[in-house]
């Protein structure tokens, strides 16, 4: 796992540690020492600790005028033992929402497992973004993780599946990707009045 770096090719568009509105503003990274772990596996030092021992993130793009953010995740999403959704929502998402972000694209290629608890934080997040014509889209999550979301009945709070499972996003600019996802979401949810 230590070789899995967060996507860095968009750094000429956005760097969270240089964004004064980011929850990771002025965060410093030690490129020579691996100190964060998911269980007994070290992860690359560029991943950001969100306060969970199993789930780490990287805000790889934010556009405050379009009110959209792209967040890459790694680890195990474990609500059962660590209440990861509460930590993620309170420490990262709420900070971003206070700064106008209401459209979230979560990239889950490196989310290995999901363990559920209750759905109150998912419902809260969904209602807050829905009130602002926002949404939460899951991009390229593993099939078994999506099945676990469905089994836990939290899938209704996300836009997921279909084309969102197979997007080759690394070859696109963040503006093109966010526009494409926004179009997909609008077609699924219908026009917003």
pTM of the predicted model, to two decimals? 0.94
* CATH tag, 16-189: 3.30.750.24
Question: In percent, how much of the chain has pLDDT > 90?
Answer: 80
**Residue 2 has what pLDDT?**
63
d(CA 177, CA 172): 6
Identify the band that residue 125 occupies on the pLDDT scale cut at 50, 70 and 90: very high
Q: Is the pLDDT of residue 123 over 90?
A: yes
Q: Yes or no: say if 34 and 43 are a contact pair by the CB < 8 Å rule.
A: yes
Q: Yes or no: say if 60 and 72 are a contact pair by the CB < 8 Å rule.
A: yes
Q: Cα Rg for the chain, rounded, in angstroms?
A: 16
Ordered by start, the domain boundaries in the chain are: 16-189
d(CA 127, CA 165): 24
**What's the CA angle centered on 23, arms 21 and 27, to 5 degrees?**
105
């Amino acid at each position: 796992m230590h070789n899995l770096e967060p996507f860095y090719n968009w750094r000429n568009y956005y760097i969270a540690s240089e964004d004064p509105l980011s929850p990771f503003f002025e965060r410093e990274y030690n490129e020579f020492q691996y100190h964060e772990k998911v269980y007994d596996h070290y992860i690359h030092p560029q991943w950001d600790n969100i306060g969970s021992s199993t789930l780490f993130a990287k805000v790889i793009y934010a556009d405050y005028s379009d009110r959209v953010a792209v967040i890459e995740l790694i680890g195990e999403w474990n609500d059962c033992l660590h209440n990861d959704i509460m930590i993620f929502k309170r420490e990262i998402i709420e900070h971003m929402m206070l700064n106008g972000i209401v459209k979230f694209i979560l990239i889950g290629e490196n989310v290995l497992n999901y363990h559920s608890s209750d759905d109150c934080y998912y419902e809260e997040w969904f209602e807050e973004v829905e009130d602002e014509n926002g949404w939460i889209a899951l991009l390229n999550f593993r099939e078994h993780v999506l099945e676990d979301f469905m089994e836990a009945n939290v899938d209704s709070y996300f836009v997921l599946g279909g084309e969102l499972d197979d997007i080759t996003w690394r070859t696109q600019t963040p503006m093109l990707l966010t526009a494409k996802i926004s179009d997909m979401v609008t077609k699924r949810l219908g026009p917003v009045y």
